[in-house]
Every structure is written in C-alpha cells, then in structure tokens.
A and B are shown apart, each in its own frame.
Chain A
Amino acid sequence: MSDPSAAPVRAFRFTGRWQDYAPIAFTNLLLTIVTLGIYTFWGRARTRRYLWSRTRFIDDRLEYTGTGLELFLGYVIAFFVIVLPFGIVNLAIQGTLMRGHQGAAAVTGMIVYLAILYLVGVARFRALRYRLSRTYWHGIRGGSSQAGLGYGWRYFWQTIVATFTVYLLMPWSMVRLWNQRWNAMSFGSLPFRSHARWQPVFGRFLLFYLLPVILFGAVALLVAAIGFSGGFDGPRSTVPSPGMVLAIALGGLAFYIVFFGVLGLIAMTFYAAFFREAVGATSLGSLDFGFEATTRDWILLYLGNLALVVVTFGIGAIFLQYRNWAFFIRHLNAYGEIAVDDLLQSRERAPGQGEGLLDAFDVGAF
C-alpha cells in the first residue's frame, strides 16, 4: 500500500491553492486587528490546519491538531517567565548605568545575553517537538523524549565556539545542531536519525565568508584609483558641490545594493547546500528524506516573497507562511518504505502548550 517507487507520484505533495487560502489569510488579518493581536494565535493554528491538510504524504494527508489556545497559553507563560523578568533586569541595568556603574551594567548585560542564547536553543527544540506532537499522519503523531534543556546547552556552547572562530565554524555548529535536534525526535514508534556532515557545505560557506572581504578590497582599490587618477582634482573646497554629493550618495547606494544583493545570493547558495545536506541525511525508519531545492529555487522564493510584500505595501506578508510551506513541501521527497503495520503510536508525552518561548524571542523553528 505504500511503495512510492511503484508510482511516478512524489511521496510529498502539496495540494493547496492560494485562492483557497486567501479567505483564511484575510479573515485572520481582520480578526487579529479587531482583537488587538490576541487572535493571532488562533489564526496561526488555522493557517497550519489548512497547510497540513493540503499536504499529502504517500497515501494520506497530514493533520494538524494544535489549537490557538495552546499557542496563547504558551505565550502567556513565556511572558511571565521570560519577558517580564528580563524587562525588570533591563530596568535594573539602566538604573545601574544611570548611577555610573558601567562595569556592573556591562557584566549584567553579558549574563542576560548568555541566558537568552541558552533559552533560544531550548525554544527551538521545544517548538519542533511541539509541532511534531501536533502533526498526525494515519492517526500517529511525532514527539520527543527530551524537553530540550540538554539541547539548550549544546546550542549555547556550539554557538559560542562558532562566534569565537569569527563565525568560521558556523556550518559546523549548524550541521551538528541539526543532527542533535532531529536525533532526539521521533514519529510514532520510529526515531528520526540524522547524520549530516559539515564538510560538503563548507566550500560554499567559505565563498560566502570571504566574498565581503574581496568585494570590500576591490571597492577600496577602485576608490583609491579614482582618487589618484585625478577624479577629485581641482580646488579642494571643504564644501563639495551638490553634484559631487549626489554622485557619492548614488555610488554608496549602488554599493549597498550590490554588496548585500550579492551577499544575499551567495548566502542562498550556502543555504541551499546546507538544506540539501541536512534533510538528505535525515531518515525515519527505512524512509530516507531528500530536499531538492536548488540555489535558483531559493532565490526565486526569496525574490517572490520580497516582491509580494513590496508590491502590496506589506499586506502580502499574510501569504508568506503559505508560500514558504508550499516551497518546503514541493521540494521535500522521501525514498524507501514505511511499514504502516509496524508504525505504532508515539509513547512520548505530548507537551501541554505551544511555542511561547519561541514567540518570546521571535525566531523560527527550522
């Protein structure tokens, strides 16, 4: 019943249409506005219910059972446990600064930063666990036996190691953390396994890493060359002419666009390679996953998202979640078999509330 190789059909298919999603997106926006933002949690749950229900894996669709109330409670808890205490500590730091104790303020600020770093790691883990625990396929859900505290430490020290190597070890920490996160997850009675390697993606990362240096050097050389060849000749008044100011401003703008545009594109080549490596090294039982988005696909997604938001003066942002999910599912593949007879229900405890911690830090789960 589940042999994907027999049919030309992909293991994962996304069957949604933006025309069907539009009423959901717009009513979510309306209700979020009139409830001063409180509905956003219910809106997010509704969006996910739609996206999951239009995602077919082999022979049946996924089902999302998370509720807005869970997300809301998660946020309220995170507010009282994280946001409020950090706000108070922040006030105390300001007070310390005002009293002239810059040293004490700096040390306290540093401790707060490290604590947040740890909690971001915990939050990422718990968000993934929560989403898996609310994702059903054939009546079976995912989960994890861990609560994410250990992962928080790993995230903490590996990020610090990456920082101390001037981010040169960034791919190493990203790949390791991906493996550690997914190796702690399971779906039903089957554990996820991930053994991604950082070596295959390091070359592209180096390109991304070194390019700004090269670009910057080139521009500096160019400026120096213009300067020497007499581009700035004539009486050197302290007040440059309006034309000169305009030229410098335009040059700066062009540099800015080229610099970040090119850097963004190079970052995409790394990101595409990282995602292919990471997802491709992940498996569930005898099922191997694969991700087929090329750099070009990522760039088109990114430019499409950008254009959508800009052209609609920001309102198009309500479709981003739909576009990202559709992109993700359309490029996700799975090979091998899954024996539904042996796949039993998850025995892991399902977490009670949603991704409040993650909301508090405003970071994504994947």
Chain B
Amino acid sequence: MPSMSAPSEVSDPSAEVWHYDGRSALRRSARLTVDGDDGFRLVGDGVSDERHAFAALTPADADGDRRSFGLRGRPGWRIGLAAPVPPEIAARLPGAQRYGGWIDRLGLWRAAAISAMLAAVAVAIVLQTPALLARLIPTSVEQRLGEVMVGDFGRTGCAAPAGTAALARLAQRIDPDDPTRDIHVVKLPMVNAVTLPGGRIVVFDGLLQAARSPDEVAGVIGHEIGHVRGRDVMESLLRQLGLSVLLGGMEGHVGGYTNALLATAYSRGAEARADGYAIRLLDEAHVSPRPTAAFFARLAKAQAGTERMFAYLASHPLSDARAARFRTSAKADAGYTPALDPADWQALRGICRGETNRIEWRF
C-alpha cells in the first residue's frame, strides 16, 4: 500500500499463513496483512488480494486446529496461522468454539445447570397439565377419539340376554346415578378389565370365571368406573403424547425407558384414586368390600402362578396394601347384601354362552 507517511511499513502487522481458496485443492503460502482497523488482505502467489473483514472469519474449532479459520459465505476457504501469532492479529481473530453458540458464552457448567432446570420445568409441565387438560376436553370429543382408536371393540362382545340384564343390574346397583355407562364383556380368557378411550369399560370373561362372588366383580367394575370419572385414560394418552415428543430426541431405548418409568409413576396414582372411588361406590351400595380385597389378595398370591393372571397384574399392579385398603374400609354393621342374587350371578357368568363375536377376515 503506497503511503506518504514513512513509518507505515512498520505499523501494519502481518503473519505467514497457509491458505486454501476453496476453488482448487492447491495449498498456498501467503502473508496476512492487517488493513485498516478491522480488515486484512492476503498477499501471495496466485492468491486473491481482496480485502476481508476480521468479523467475517468463522471461529476455529477448540477441539481441532485453534489457529485455522474459515470465511463466512466461502465454503472451503481457509487460512492457518503459524505458531507465534502477532498479538495485534491475535486480538482481532474470533474466539474458538467448543460446544457451539450459547454454551460457549455461558460456560459448560452454568449452561448445564440452566438446561437441567429448564428440563425439569418442561417435564413437570408435561406431567402435570394432562390432568387439567383431560378434564377440559369434552366427553363427546373423547368418545369420538375412542371410536377412531378402538372402534366397536367390546361392544360386539358377549350378549346372552340374561347375562346382559344381570350386568346392567350389577352396574345399576353400584352406580345408580349415571345412565351413560358403557360396560361390556368380551370372551377372552384373561383375568382383566380395561377402560378404553371414550370411557367404555370392557370386562374379560376370564375375570368373571376367576371371581368367586358378584361382589368381587362389583369391586373391579367400581374401580374401572373410577377411571372413567377421573378421565384417567384421556389423561394418560395426553401424558404419553407429551412425553414421547419431549423425550423424542433421546437415544431410542433411554427415551423409552424414561417415558415408561414416568408414566408408570403416574398410573399408580390413578390406580389409587380409582380404588378410592370403588370403595366409595361399594359403601354407598352396601356391597361388602371384603370379597374385592380377597380377590386382589388371591391374584397377588398367584403372581408367580398361572400365566393368565399376568394381564391383570401388568395393568393393575397389585400389592398387599391395595387389598388391605379395601379390607379396612369394611364396616361392622353396614348391613351388606350380595351385589347380585345367585340366579343373576349365574346368568352373568354365563354371559358369553351362545352366539358371541368371532374374529374373521373382513375388508
């Protein structure tokens, strides 16, 4: 740069660099010379001498070569400086990047702590809001969702007329105030009962056969009615959805296990609430809770035994505490009567006799 002032030769700091221009693979040697306060030029054989701003340099990689820089908007363009970089130039070069963006600015530990707090808040929101949200969703919407998800599963189940009538009487006995109940029996050998999206309760025939009295069935149905009233199915659907989106970035298994763990923790709470609801229904209907307690105790004892018991255990984790809760809710002088008379009880157990649904190939 021709200049009138004599000392300009000394005042412009410069350094040796190697250089790729991003157009050809040739490695060139050049001299980087500071030009003005915030720019530089490269001078060398076959090197373009256009002026670049120091601010246009991309940060070096802290894990790699800390004295090698790219140029924004020019892929492949690189310079690398030799060991002692003159301080005038070093001061103008961008800082190295390690973790990327804001973590470098905050520092690793502070960034990790802030992230952990945000993550905790996010998880808490996703775990807590479904309970509120589920109650805001109209029943009609949930029923339509249930239609989409499970169709008429259960509705076309066992329908022996006497049994259906007995089932209706049992439901009316323990839950007299709600005409919209939707309870069905399907002919499957599992000892289980489920509440489906949309509030449909499906009792499996295996449970009716494993039960020793109508009071035991009444307790189980009371529990499922508790799930329907608590909107528990909708709540767990929303929670699952939230968790799977939130943990979607995690490595497959890790995310899945965390998700299952958190969901299980919450489903225990829902089970306990449904038990409380069942106990209240039984008490109001003057049906003894002791048989239900005995039923749970029997299942818990058979835990290692018959395989078909597992279905109920998986969805309704049993414990002595649960059975005990039903047992201790019994009152001495409550005047309990059986949930169904013997004839109705026989009819209910025979609900799957005769024409029932068959699984066939349909389009």
Contact = CB atoms under 8 A, between A and B. Distances in A.
Interface of A: 24, 27, 30-32, 34-42, 45-46, 49-50, 53, 59-61, 63, 65, 67-68, 75, 79, 91-92, 94-96, 98-104, 136-141, 188, 340-341, 343-345, 350, 362
Interface in B122-173: 122-123, 148-153, 156
A91 B149 contact: yes
16 contacts: A30-B108, A31-B111, A34-B113, A36-B249, A37-B250, A40-B250, A53-B63, A75-B249, A95-B148, A101-B363, A102-B361, A103-B363, A136-B75, A139-B76, A141-B76, A345-B24
A139 B119 contact: no
B78 interface: yes
B77 interface: yes
A137 B246 CA distance: 38
Interface in B73-101: 75-78, 98-100
Nearest to A72: B249
Contacts of A95: 148-151
Interface in B244-291: 246-252, 254-255
B4 interface: no
Nearest to B244: A87
A50 B64 CA distance: 6
Of B25, B103, B361, most buried by chain A (CB within 10 Å of CB) is B25
Contacts of A136: 75-76, 78
B115 interface: yes
B141 to A, nearest CB: 16
Contacts of A35: 115, 119, 249
B65 interface: yes
Nearest to A68: B100
A36 B126 CA distance: 13
Given A31-B99, A42-B99, A139-B21, A60 B247 contact: no
B189 interface: no
A102 B362 contact: yes
Given A30-B112, A95-B150, A95-B151, A100 B359 contact: yes
B25 A104 contact: no
A4 B359 CA distance: 70
Nearest to A106: B361
A78 to B, nearest CB: 11
Contacts of B77: 139
A104 B363 contact: yes
Closest 9 CB pairs of A and B: A139-B20, A37-B249, A53-B64, A37-B250, A99-B151, A343-B25, A138-B25, A139-B76, A34-B115
B362 A101 contact: yes
Contact of A24 (B63, B103, B255): B63
A101 B151 CA distance: 11
Query: B111, B116, B249, B361: which has the most chain A beta carbons within 10 Å?
Result: B249
A101 B152 CA distance: 12
B251 A60 contact: no
Contacts of B25: 137-140, 188, 340-341, 343-344
A203 B252 CA distance: 36
A100 B64 contact: no
Contacts of A91: 148-149
B63 A46 contact: yes
Given A61-B65, A99-B153, 14 more contacts: A27-B108, A36-B119, A37-B249, A42-B100, A95-B151, A96-B151, A100-B357, A102-B359, A102-B360, A102-B362, A140-B76, A344-B24, A345-B76, A362-B252
A343 B149 CA distance: 58
A249 to B, nearest CB: 17
A99 B155 CA distance: 10
Contact of A67 (B100, B112, B113, B251): B100
A137 B76 CA distance: 8
A250 B63 CA distance: 50
A87 B113 CA distance: 34
Given A40-B251, A53-B65, A139-B22, A98 B149 contact: yes
B78 A139 contact: yes
B299 to A, nearest CB: 24
